[in-house]
């Protein structure tokens, strides 16, 4: 079978420096002479990497430059990181795997080792699990989602009173409205907007999920919006779909890979919320897909 795309690099080489963003580029070239080829980039460590664009369409025989950014890290990651570039055209698909090669001088590694004692008290800040567990809050979990619902209800009023920065929030507004045509246009032309968040750290996927716009949910995930992104309360898009009683949206998110065991900052899982709110159909769906009782 003929290849759909060619990746110009054999590996992803990143010149590592501690606590700064490290960037590099890879290039994907379409090999099809007449039709557009879709592609999507996946990583074994999505919490560490950001890819722009994470997916899209390649014009016939065109080349797309993909920027790979390693988020600030206190020390050089393990060398086991991998990327997968999946290209598709009709029923055909092609997977290209690339390993990440970190480049750092011995001098840099020694400086990092010598300076580590001075920042030991700060390293835990980069561990979101530690950060979440360190919060001393005696509020019972069942109030977690109740407060969150109130905040979401206030959000629309606040948006009217304080119009969001259009450059940052236009994607969120389109997602909240379920405006597929505008979403598609924005995602193709302004892919950086997939990381936009509102004052509650809600992404476009959160906004679409809580409103039950399933086509928007599917499109956003396909274009690379992180399905496990959390708002300020630690809720994922699945949490919000469950809170809103949207069984079909919840099922779509699970089919797209959402974690049924995801926990909010106060420990509430989607199943806990469903049962607390009396959504038995959603509770059955979650348990059938692996949620623990």
Could you give phi then psi for residue 207, rounded to 5 degrees? -60, -40
Residue whose entry in the numeric block shows the structure tokens 């060398």: 79
The alpha carbon of residue 176 and the mean position of all alpha carbons in its chain are separated, in whole angstroms, by: 17
Query: DSSP character for 199?
Result: T
Q: Are 77 and 45 in contact (CB under 8 A)?
A: yes
pLDDT for res 24: 93
pLDDT for res 81: 86
Cα separation, 233 vs 192, whole angstroms: 24
Q: For the chain, what's the residue count?
A: 293
pLDDT for res 194: 73
pLDDT for res 217: 95
| 95 contact partners, CB below 8 Å, separation of at least 6 | 84, 85, 86, 87
Give the 3-state secondary structure of residue 53: coil
Cα separation, 43 vs 64, whole angstroms: 18
Cα separation, 73 vs 18, whole angstroms: 6
Here the tokens at position 281 are 């159909």
| 64 contact partners, CB below 8 Å, separation of at least 6 | 27, 28, 29, 39, 53, 56, 58
Here the tokens at position 65 are 């430059």
Cα separation, 89 vs 39, whole angstroms: 9
pLDDT for res 34: 92
pLDDT for res 196: 81
Domain annotation for the chain: domains and CATH numbers? 5-103 (2.60.40.10), 139-288 (1.25.40.20)
Give the 3-state secondary structure of residue 134: coil
Q: Are 274 and 243 in contact (CB under 8 A)?
A: no
Residue whose entry in the numeric block shows the structure tokens 């994907």: 28
All residue ranges of the chain with pLDDT < 70 are 78-79, 105-168, 190-193
pLDDT for res 107: 41
Residue whose entry in the numeric block shows the structure tokens 């360190």: 134
Burial class of 118 by CB neighbour count within 10 A (0 to 12, 13 to 18, 19+): exposed
């Amino acid at each position: 079978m003929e290849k759909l795309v060619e990746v110009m690099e054999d590996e992803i080489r990143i010149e590592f420096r501690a606590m700064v963003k490290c960037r590099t580029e890879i290039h994907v070239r379409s090999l099809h002479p007449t039709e557009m080829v879709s592609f999507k980039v996946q990583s074994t460590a999505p919490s560490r990497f950001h890819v722009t664009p994470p997916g899209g369409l390649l014009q016939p025989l065109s080349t797309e430059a993909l920027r790979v950014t390693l988020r600030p890290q206190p020390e050089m990651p393990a060398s086991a990181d991998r990327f997968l570039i999946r290209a598709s055209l009709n029923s055909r698909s092609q997977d290209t795997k690339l390993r990440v090669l970190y480049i750092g001088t011995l001098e840099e590694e020694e400086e990092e080792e010598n300076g580590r004692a001075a920042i030991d008290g700060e390293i835990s800040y980069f561990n979101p699990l530690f950060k979440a567990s360190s919060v001393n809050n005696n509020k019972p979990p069942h109030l977690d989602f109740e407060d969150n619902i109130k905040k979401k209800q206030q959000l629309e009023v606040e948006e009217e009173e304080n119009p969001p920065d259009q450059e940052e929030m236009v994607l969120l507004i389109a997602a909240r409205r379920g405006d597929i045509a505008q979403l598609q246009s924005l995602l193709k032309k302004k892919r950086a907007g997939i990381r936009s968040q509102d004052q509650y750290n809600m992404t476009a996927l959160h906004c679409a999920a809580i409103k039950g716009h399933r086509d928007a949910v599917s499109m956003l995930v396909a274009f690379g919006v992180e399905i496990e992104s959390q708002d300020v309360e630690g809720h994922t898009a699945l949490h919000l779909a469950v809170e809103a009683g949207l069984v079909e949206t919840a099922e779509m998110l699970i089919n797209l890979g959402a974690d049924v065991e995801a926990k909010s900052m106060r420990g509430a899982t989607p199943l806990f919320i469903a049962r607390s709110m009396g959504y038995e159909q959603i509770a059955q769906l979650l348990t059938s897909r692996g949620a623990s009782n």
